[in-house]
Amino acid sequence: MDTQKRYSALFWFLLANFLLTLFIASPYLGFAPDSPSIVEWLYSRTAFVSNFAMLYLLLMIVLIGITFTVPSLLFLQLISGSFLSLFNIILLIDTVIFKLYRFHINSLVWNILITEGSSDSVILGKSTFITFGISSALILSFEIGIHFLITRFLSKKISNKNGILRLSSFALFCLVINIIDKGTYAYADLTNKTYITRYDKLFPLYQPLTIKRLAKDQWGYDVNREFEFQQIKSAGILNYPLSELKFDNDGEKPNIVLIVIDSWRYDMMNPKVSPNIYAFSKNSLIFDNHYSGGNSTRFGIFSMFYGIYGTYWHTVLSERKEPIFMQTMRKMDYDFGVWSSTQLTFPEFRKTAFIGISDQITDQIEGDKAKERDPQHPALFDKWLDTRDEKQPFFAFLFLDAPHEPYSYPDDFIRFEPSVNEINYMNLDKKSDLVPFMNHYRNAVYFDDFVTGQLLDILHDRKLMDNTIIIITGDHGAEFYERGFWGHNSSFSPEQVKVPFIMHLPGEVSKKYNQLTSHCDLVPTLFEIMGCTSAFNQYSIGRSMLSDTLQPRKFLVSSSWSESAIISNKATLVFSTESHNIGTFEIRDENYELIPNSQYTDIFKSSEVVKVLYDMGRFLK
Query: Is the pLDDT confidence value at 293 over 90?
Result: yes
Query: Is the pLDDT confidence value at 587 over 70?
Result: yes
Confirm if 470 and 253 have CB atoms less than 8 A apart.
no
The CA-atom distances, in angstroms, between 150 and each of 8, 16, 45 are 9, 10, 29
What's the mean pLDDT in 39-46?
Answer: 89
Distance from C-alpha of 309 to C-alpha of 301, rounded to nearest angstrom = 11
Residue 220 lies in a domain: no
Confirm if 493 and 482 have CB atoms less than 8 A apart.
yes
Query: Is the pLDDT confidence value at 230 over 50?
Result: no
* Pair 409, 551 in one domain: yes
Residue 266 lies in a domain: yes
Q: Among the three residues 148, 172, 197, which one is the final residue of a domain in this structure?
A: 197
Q: Among the three residues 148, 173, 197, which one is the final residue of a domain in this structure?
A: 197
Res. 156 pLDDT band, cuts 50 70 90: low
Res. 232 pLDDT band, cuts 50 70 90: very low
Q: Return the C-alpha torsion angle 485, 486, 489, 495, nearest 10.
A: 80
- Phi, psi at residue 58, to the nearest 5°? -70, -40
* Pair 147, 279 in one domain: no
| Structural domain count, the chain | 2
pLDDT of residue 34: 74
Confirm if 306 and 353 have CB atoms less than 8 A apart.
yes
Q: Among the three residues 181, 197, 213, which one is the final residue of a domain in this structure?
A: 197
Domain that holds residue 105: 3-197
Confirm if 448 and 373 have CB atoms less than 8 A apart.
no
What's the mean pLDDT in 305-329?
Answer: 95
- Phi, psi at residue 512, to the nearest 5°? -115, 130
* Pair 462, 573 in one domain: yes
Distance from C-alpha of 400 to C-alpha of 444, rounded to nearest angstrom = 10
Closest C-alpha among 281, 285, 259 to residue 270: 281
Confirm if 95 and 25 have CB atoms less than 8 A apart.
yes
Res. 482 pLDDT band, cuts 50 70 90: very high
Res. 379 pLDDT band, cuts 50 70 90: very high
What's the mean pLDDT in 480-486?
Answer: 92
Q: Per residue in 412-436, pLDDT tens?
A: 999 999 999 887 776 777 878 899 9
Residue 234 lies in a domain: no
Residue 212 lies in a domain: no
Closest C-alpha among 344, 586, 367, 618 to residue 483: 586
* Pair 480, 591 in one domain: yes
Distance from C-alpha of 464 to C-alpha of 480, rounded to nearest angstrom = 38
* Pair 339, 416 in one domain: yes
Distance from C-alpha of 592 to C-alpha of 596, rounded to nearest angstrom = 13
Residue 496 lies in a domain: yes
When computed from its CA atoms, the radius of gyration of the chain, rounded to whole angstroms, is 28
* Pair 189, 262 in one domain: no
- Phi, psi at residue 574, to the nearest 5°? -105, 130
By three-state DSSP, how is residue 486 classified? strand
Least confident of 29-33, 112-116, 249-253, 501-505: 112-116
Residue 139 lies in a domain: yes
- Phi, psi at residue 313, to the nearest 5°? -55, -50
Q: Is the pTM of this model over 0.85?
A: no
pLDDT of residue 201: 79
Q: Per residue in 326-343, pLDDT tens?
A: 999 999 999 999 999 999
Residue 237 lies in a domain: no
Task: Give me the residues paired with residue 67 across strands.
Answer: none
Res. 115 pLDDT band, cuts 50 70 90: low
CATH of the domain at 524: 3.40.720.10
Q: Per residue in 160-205, pLDDT tens?
A: 567 788 899 999 999 999 999 999 988 887 877 777 887 877 898 8
Residue 84 lies in a domain: yes
